[in-house]
A and B are shown apart, each in its own frame.
Chain A
Amino acid sequence: MLRNTNAKPKVWVEFFNRDMKLVRSEEMDLKYKRKQRDFENVLYLGGKLYLLSSFNNTAKKRNYLFKQELSTKSLVPGKTLDMVCETEARNKEVEGTFAYSISKDSSKLLIYNELPYEKKDPERFGFRVFDQNFQLAWEKNIVLPYNDDKFTVEEYRVDNEGNVFLLGVLYEDDAKWRRRGSPTYKYIVLAYMDNGTAFEEYRIDLADKFITDLTFRIGNDGKLVFSGFYSERGTYSVKGTYFFHLDPKSRAVQDRKATEFDFNFLTAFMSDRNKQKALEAVEKNDTRKAPELYDYSLDELILRSDGGAVLVAEQYFVEQENYRNSPYGLYPYYSPFYDPFYYNRYGQTQTDYYYHYNDIIVVNISPTGEIEWSARIPKRQETRNDGGYYSSYAMATTRDGFFFLFNDDSRNFGRDDGKLYTYTGGNNSVVALAQVNIKGEVSVAPLTSNRDAGVTVRPKMCKQIGKREMAVLGERGRGYRFGSLKFE
């Protein structure tokens, strides 16, 4: 969690070798002619490192983006500061920000920025596509025929040829998500091809069903693979998967399919009583009470070589709890000691945020959109006011299946009491490794204890660095180290 955007930015680039040894660490100098630039990003493009920084000229109301090449050996930025692009920005905190996407083969870079707007004015944004030497290939400012408050951009990608694809949501009325139980939004795909000279728009909906999450990837054949979840109830739950291919050349939408999850999968960790209720709801065709999965966040869409795909999602939600100060201590609102009138007397409140990262689901989808198998990895993680710093998971894809690394409570191993214990960041945590093989079978085992390792593993910062290797980051106090996790 990084906060306080007004503070002076400080940035380092580090290089670790294959023995996980820190070879070099270099602080980036963000001053230029006595002026402080804002840090934007560091990109690895075409085997070269680039430091991107920006400067907001408040008098001219413009934001400028600069690039500097870093030496891949010394990590020192070059002395040449090149302006990559400039954009309108009335206020640097809310406008003129830049976002980046690199093509699958690392040969193209897309820099995307939203342009300032007035209320009820059309949505505007700018694209710039660069080649692997960071030379501008093409650029375009876009004005969409939708009002800014009716359209939100969800995702943007560039393919190996420099074509840009953008996925957004268009709301049909002010109700935003639903009216009389039906969805009031559509997903929209915008395709800008042939250096921005060709444009195509595709509208995606599922009639009376809610598309609750949708993402896409660009296949090796240039076709786009879309997949996500749908619900029959609303936008927070999941009933099944939605899948289709889009060929931008022929403009054809192929293999479109919505497939419901198996009843046993939806009710896998329910009590017998709740499972019986769910079964009755299904038999009565009661959509409102039929089982669905809640609060799943779609994290990964991995393309299969045959045109199919694998979806990975994790249950994630944040709980907010308010306390009021009383002379007897802080009590939550449901406590018998909670006194609502103390607010007026003392005027102090405290809010805690609980970050929940729970089960992971993996869904294998055939090239025709059928669910081949779905797997669920049981996991409970709950921590307070830390943004889930040590929660969530890291994933590696190998020829034999998928590996998931996460922090877990040690009591979940070596017992058979039917309980799933929650990781809360305590000393008795272990690093668990779950394997989902190519048949969808799940096995989970402890890899190491965080206490014995002398560090706590931070899964969000672990990354697959080879076909069968993952770099694992562990931290304790001001100490940290990387480990090499090799899959045999």
Chain B
Amino acid sequence: MRQNILKGFIFFAFFFLGKNLATAQTDLPAKLTWGPDNNEPGNTVATKVIGIAPDGFYVLRQKCFATRTPSPRFGSSSSIGT
């Protein structure tokens, strides 16, 4: 029983920590507000903000032919001591 309570506490602690990270904007002098989701035409990528108009901005999108998924180095250590 006590173990279950402990597990539940750890779960909620992680849950709220994660949420706090996502909304940790209160200390920052900036606020990010997302617009609605869009679906891009297949194999295309936004390549440039063409220009900024008073009521919005123009974006250039082009067909692409290369990978864009980042992948880490095989077997590398991911920290550098300073």
Contact = CB atoms under 8 A, between A and B. Distances in A.
A384 interface: yes
* Dominant secondary structure of chain A at its interface with chain B: strand
Interface stretch (A42-50, A54-62, A161-169, A203-211): A42-50
Contacts of B24: 445-448
Interface residues of A, number: 90
A461 to B, nearest CB: 5
Nearest to A11: B62
For chain B, give the interface size range.
35 or more
Contacts of A473: 46
A484 B50 contact: no
B78 interface: yes
21 contacts: A2-B47, A4-B65, A7-B63, A11-B61, A13-B58, A13-B59, A15-B57, A47-B53, A49-B51, A332-B74, A382-B73, A387-B66, A400-B29, A410-B21, A424-B72, A461-B48, A480-B37, A481-B37, A483-B35, A487-B29, A488-B29
Contacts of A251: none
Contacts of B23: 448
Contact of B72 (A4, A44, A384): A384
A426 B72 contact: yes
B24 to A, nearest CB: 5
A481 B68 contact: no
A483 B25 CA distance: 14
A1 B39 contact: no
A123 to B, nearest CB: 29
Interface string B1-45: 000000000000000001101111101111111111111111011
A475 B38 CA distance: 10
A422 B70 contact: no
Contact of B82 (A25, A271, A387, A487): A271
A22 to B, nearest CB: 5
A309 to B, nearest CB: 23
B21 A471 contact: no
Interface stretch (A76-84, A242-250, A413-421): A413-421
B28 A433 contact: yes
B80 to A, nearest CB: 5
Given A382-B72, A465-B52, A481 B47 contact: no
Interface centre among B21, B29, B42 (most CB of A within 10 A): B29
A25 B79 CA distance: 42
